[in-house]
Structures are given as C-alpha cells and as structure tokens.
C-alpha cells in the first residue's frame, strides 16, 4: 500500500555516521525480527544521526517526533479536523508510520506524558497494531514499520523515567561519546575543520566531561564541538567560538563558567 506523502520522509542522501561497534548489525537484526529499539545515551552523542543513517541503509522513510510534556496521544495517533466545512480524520505521525511501513522515532521519550507513551504498547509486542480509539480502527503495522525511541539516562528521575512495562518491550542500544580519535574525525568532517583543530576541540571536551561532578548537568557534546567548529571556520576567534558554542550552552553558573574558561586557556 502506498501512503500519500510518505516519500517526503525518505532520506535520499546517506548521512555521515562512524560506526563504534556492533550497533549497525544489532539494529538490522532487530529490524529483520520486527523488534522495537531503544537508544540511550547523553545529549548530542549521535543517537539521532544513527537513526537517520539506519533509515537510509534500510531504505525506509523516517518520521521523527520530538517528545515533550504537552505531547498528547492524539498528537501521535491523529484527530478529526474541520476541512472545507466537513469533519475529516487526519492521521498523526505514528499512524502514518504504521500504515506506510516507516521507522517512527520518538526522540526523548521520557519527556512525553505517561498516558501518551502507553499508546505504543500494542505496537511493541507480538500484536504490532495501533488502536485508534476515536475511529474504532485497529491498524495492523506494515511489515516495514519499526518503532525506535531514545532517552538520556543522565536526566533520569522518579518523574522522568521509563516504566518497566515500556522498557522491557525494546532491544536496547547504549550510546556514548566516541573515543577521541573517532570523535575528532566526526568533528573534522561535520565541522569542516582540519583534523588537528578537531583534535584540540575534542581534547577540550574530554576535560569538560571530566568535571561533571562539579555541577555540570551534561558534558560537552559532539554537537557543541561541531557548532564551535562552524563558527571558527567563519572567522570567529577560537576562544570566543568556544565560549559561545560550548561553555554558555552548558551552564549559567558563574563559578562553573570560570572553570570552563580556564580549561579553554589550558587547551587553546
């Protein structure tokens, strides 16, 4: 079955992704077995890029939903809308993915309302179907459909954690920042800087990640390093690029900022 508009969700150009182990093979095996996948790891370590890469590799459309506390089940499943004076049903992103055989990626799933995440349960067990309460329809998942969710364990709390009834439905892949040599390759490629400059950026990130116990909620992500690289190649002075693209996004605490600026002086 062809679902109207689904081709707009296809990734036509292969995303750059540097494999770190067996994650590609495990994801492919999970897809072949029709198993859902959970990705967990810190902010900006490559989870979303990995999903994009796998969608391209598997030649499946990718529908991404950024989860938040105001995300209702109807935002995923769909709702009735007024159109030219008539009431018509409009599929939500999850229903569209189920019908079309796309990969549905729910990014930062723990940010969504608990009563919203329950809607994915029938899709992540042997039933592989979506119950659309408002229409009474039970939509069987297309053979190519795959559910992928992600979250950041660093933000776990009693209020923001996955229920065991959800977690145990998924094959889980753990992500972290690449080793320094690999991370430098990624920063050089994505930030369009020389490898030597990328290595200095990564060296700074390693130092910053080493002081998390001093109060930083997160270490410097690979994404922030790439942002700094983009500023640098466009003429922003190194230290200014690092302050604005790395340090200030990490914290507002003056004491921590002074520590971060000292680390910049050590490396640059």
Checking if the pLDDT of 243 tops 50, the result is: yes
Give this prediction's pTM.
0.90
Q: Which residue has the tokens 């009834």?
A: 165
Mean pLDDT, rounded, of the chain:
93
The tens digit of pLDDT for each residue in 74-122 reads 999 999 998 888 899 999 999 999 999 999 999 999 998 888 888 999 9
* SS3 at position 47: helix
d(CA 46, CA 178): 9
**Nearest CA to 154 among 41, 46, 37, 39?**
41
* Local confidence band at 1 (pLDDT 50, 70, 90 cut-offs): very low
Backbone CA torsion sign across 225, 58, 140, 40: negative
Give yes or no for a contact between 88 and 132, defined as CB atoms under 8 angstroms apart: no
Other Cβ atoms closer than 10 A to 142: 17
Q: Which residue has the tokens 């459909």?
A: 145
* Local confidence band at 158 (pLDDT 50, 70, 90 cut-offs): very low
């Amino acid at each position: 079955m062809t679902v109207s508009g689904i081709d707009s969700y296809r990734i036509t150009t292969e995303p750059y992704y540097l494999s770190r182990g067996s994650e590609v093979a495990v994801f492919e095996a999970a897809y072949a077995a029709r198993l859902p996948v959970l990705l967990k790891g810190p902010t900006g370590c490559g989870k979303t890029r990995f999903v994009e890469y796998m969608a391209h590799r598997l030649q499946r459309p990718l529908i991404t939903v950024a989860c938040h506390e105001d995300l209702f089940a109807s935002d995923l499943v769909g709702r009735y809308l007024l159109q030219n004076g008539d009431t018509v049903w409009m599929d939500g992103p999850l229903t569209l993915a189920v019908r079309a055989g796309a990969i549905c990626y729910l990014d930062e799933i723990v940010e969504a309302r608990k009563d919203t995440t329950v809607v994915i349960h029938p899709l992540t067990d042997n039933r592989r179907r979506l119950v659309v309460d408002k229409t009474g329809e039970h939509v069987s998942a297309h053979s190519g459909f795959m559910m992928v969710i992600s979250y950041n364990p660093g933000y776990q709390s009693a209020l923001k954690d996955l229920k065991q009834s959800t977690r145990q439905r998924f094959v889980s892949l753990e992500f972290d920042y690449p080793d320094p040599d690999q991370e430098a390759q990624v920063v050089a490629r994505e930030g369009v800087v020389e490898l030597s400059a990328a290595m200095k950026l990564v060296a700074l990130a390693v130092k910053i990640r080493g002081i998390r116990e001093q109060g930083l909620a997160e270490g410097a992500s690979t994404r922030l390093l790439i942002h700094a690289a983009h500023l640098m190649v466009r003429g922003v002075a190194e230290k200014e690029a690092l302050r604005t693209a790395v340090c200030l996004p990490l914290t507002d605490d003056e004491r921590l900022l002074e520590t971060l600026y000292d680390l910049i002086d050590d490396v640059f």
